[in-house]
Structure 1
Amino acid sequence: MDARIEQVVTSGTLTLDDTEHDVEANTYIVGDDDEVIVIDPAFDAEAILKEVGDREVMAVLLTDGNEHHLEVVLEVAAAGEDDEENWAPIALHRADRLLWRDYFGRLAKEEDDEDDAKALRALEPDIWLEDGGIFEIGEAQLEIVHTPGHTPGSVSVISEQLGVLFAGDTLHRGRPGSIGGVYEDMRKQLNSIGALLTPLPKDLRVLPGQGEETTVGEEDARWETWGSLAQDD
């Protein structure tokens, strides 16, 4: 197996519902010596591309459409290429299209050049992620699982070959994933987590969008205790 996983931790401020949250985010670079897929770039495109180095970015996968991913996704997809035809495809679940359009719509309003503003308003992801979709990189497969709750279009990514679950902000170590303790739809998120974890090997590594890694077994044992978090949801 040539494929490997590298992690880049970046930090910044994310605003949700007019409240600022300090966030430390995990970006994962999956691939070999020649090609990589970048999962969840955030805050600092330069640091991520430094880790990518001379390797070709084959795709950029977003596990959700929150702003800290969107603000750097174009720069990471471009990876120094001026010609947009050479940019890596950006992949997002269609259920987070509104988050995408809201973000790039705000950028368009700040543009003085009408052509640039029009281009931002027309911008769409290159690939709409679907449950069961597969990406291949360095002899490893990355399977998409739709896990709504954190956002409508949140996904997780499973690689049997690499022995990992990239959980994004659906699941963090010891708790359901969140930004600053804010949950959009806790009941749906807990259902997604339960359905995700139950069939997976207990020793499978879980690499979350924030914080330290864990295992499926550790989080599956905790999952039922989180029900009280949804009582006021």
Structure 2
Amino acid sequence: MEARIERVTSKGKCTVDDVEYKVESNTYIVGDDEEVIVIDPAHDAEAILKKVGDREVMAVICTDGLDAHLNCVLEVAAAGDDDPDNWAPIALHRGDRILWRDYFAQLAKDEEDEEDAKALRSLEPDIWLEDGGTFEIAGVQLDVIHTPGHTPGSVVIYCEQLGVLFSGDTLHRGRPGSVGGVFTDLRRQLNSLGSLLTPLPKDTRVLPGQGKETTVGDEEIRWESWGALAQESDG
């Protein structure tokens, strides 16, 4: 069976530097009729799992460690199974380990059961993503590319066979990715984007974490103009 891509768009909140923003996030499901990988679960586990249906979730990949991509990650990984041993592995880059720990430590504070709170505080991703790492699903390969800037551990996922780049919040249509227009480290993000876009085929579809899709060629043309954004953020 051929691999295909499905999208679930949901609304919710994302926190950056203790400021909460309203966002509309894209979750992507890659696979076939039997197995899938979920990229960037966000806000609405029920809608994501409805789209997954009775297919097996083989992995859940978070392209960054902000709360928009963590707030339903456990529910999606569990996919309705009460036994944690059967949950899909959750993958995150080690550069966002602090964001992960802060998020689950906050959840632990609100947990009345001490054993559950302890479990949340000690929770770690099952897979630490690395630049050059790969996943395989439905006969295609998903390549991990580290693109620090939006967060220290931001990654994008490239699939040559499908001609697709899952850009997370590293790159949105028409501009570098951000939450609420806020850039954490824009110069580093622009360096990551310059290195990312140049070697990829120009007709590669870019499926971002927020907003509509675009292409590598369209965004590479815009890259140099984004330097003005960096100057503004420095000011």
Regarding TM over 0.5, the answer is yes
Q: Does 1:178 align with 2:178?
A: yes
Q: Identity of counterpart residues, as a percentage?
A: 74
Q: Does 1:63 align with 2:99?
A: no
Q: Deviations over 1:105-144 (max 9, x none)?
A: 0111111211111100110000000000010000010000
Unaligned 5+ segments in structure 2 are: none
| Cα deviation, residue 174, structure 1 | 0.2
Unaligned 5+ segments in structure 1 are: none
| Counterpart in the other structure of 1:208 | 208
| Counterpart in the other structure of 2:27 | 27
Provide the rounded CA distance (Å) in 2 between the counterparts of 1:112 and 1:204: 48
**Pairs within 5 Å for 1:157-168:** 157-168=157-168
Q: Does 1:148 align with 2:119?
A: no
Total equivalences in the alignment:
233
| Counterpart in the other structure of 2:10 | 10
Provide the rounded CA distance (Å) in 2 between the counterparts of 1:148 and 1:39: 18
| Cα deviation, residue 94, structure 1 | 0.2
| Counterpart in the other structure of 2:38 | 38
| Counterpart in the other structure of 2:222 | 222
Provide the rounded CA distance (Å) in 2 between the counterparts of 1:15 and 1:221: 31
Normalised TM-score (structure 1): 0.98
Provide the rounded CA distance (Å) in 2 between the counterparts of 1:213 and 1:170: 13
Q: Does 1:90 align with 2:84?
A: no
| Cα deviation, residue 15, structure 1 | 2.6
**Pairs within 5 Å for 1:77-116:** 77-116=77-116
Q: Which moved more, 1:19-28 or 1:139-148?
A: 19-28
Contact 2:16 2:66 in 1 (8 A): no
Q: Which moved more, 1:87-96 or 1:113-122?
A: 113-122
Provide the rounded CA distance (Å) in 1 between the counterparts of 2:46 and 2:198: 37
Provide the rounded CA distance (Å) in 2 between the counterparts of 1:146 and 1:13: 24
AA aligned to 1:127 is: I
AA aligned to 1:147 is: T
Contact 2:15 2:66 in 1 (8 A): no
Contact 2:92 2:128 in 1 (8 A): yes
Provide the rounded CA distance (Å) in 2 between the counterparts of 1:190 and 1:15: 22
Normalised TM-score (structure 2): 0.98
What is the root-mean-square deviation in Å for CA atoms of aligned residues? 0.8
Per the alignment, in what secondary structure is the counterpart of residue 88 of structure 2? coil
| Cα deviation, residue 173, structure 1 | 0.3
Contact 2:45 2:72 in 1 (8 A): yes
AA aligned to 1:162 is: L
Provide the rounded CA distance (Å) in 2 between the counterparts of 1:13 and 1:154: 18
Q: Deviations over 1:177-230 (max 9, x none)?
A: 000000000000000001000000000000000000000000000000000111
AA aligned to 1:42 is: A
AA aligned to 2:67 is: E
